[in-house]
Amino acid sequence: IVMTQTPLSSPVTLGQPASISCRSSQSLVHSDGNTYLSWLHQRPGQPPRLLIYKISNRFSGVPDRFSGSGAGTDFTLKISRVEAEDVGVYYCMQGTQFPRTFGQGTKLEIK
């Protein structure tokens, strides 16, 4: 399954919203009825960290300014008000089929 993110780069103003899209080449609905789409964030020089799993579930400790939505093949990560610590690269990942696959990454930077 190929995961395609847009945009690849997103300059944003502090305090303003940001949105990243992720599209899969086929439906991510698993035979168990769940959709295994997750979002990760990687700050420069750091390992990735999980933000969102199963489309819209925030992982432990993730601020509520992060939200995920979507269904089937189209998914979106939204940040309601961007903070300085949100810079870095965001990846979507599908956990429905093997091999697990990631999007190319979207670099979020402050204007």
Site residues, other proteins (CB under 8 A): 30, 34, 36, 38, 40, 47-50, 53-54, 59, 89, 91, 93, 95-96, 98-105
Closer CB to other proteins, 19 or 102, in the complex: 102
State the nearest-atom distance from the C-beta of 31 to other proteins, in Å. Answer: 13
Closer CB to other proteins, 43 or 81, in the complex: 43
State the nearest-atom distance from the C-beta of 2 to other proteins, in Å. Answer: 13
- Asked if residues 70 and 6 have their Cβ atoms less than 8 Å apart, the reply is no
Closer CB to other proteins, 54 or 65, in the complex: 54
Stretch (H or E) spanning 38: strand 37-42
Backbone φ and ψ for 46, nearest 5 degrees, come out as -120, 160
Of 59, 57, 56, the closest CA to residue 48 belongs to 59
- Geometric angle at alpha carbon 108, from 19 and 50, rounded to 5°: 75
State the nearest-atom distance from the C-beta of 66 to other proteins, in Å. Answer: 15
Within 10 A of 59 (CB to CB), how many other CB atoms are there? 14
State the nearest-atom distance from the C-beta of 53 to other proteins, in Å. Answer: 4
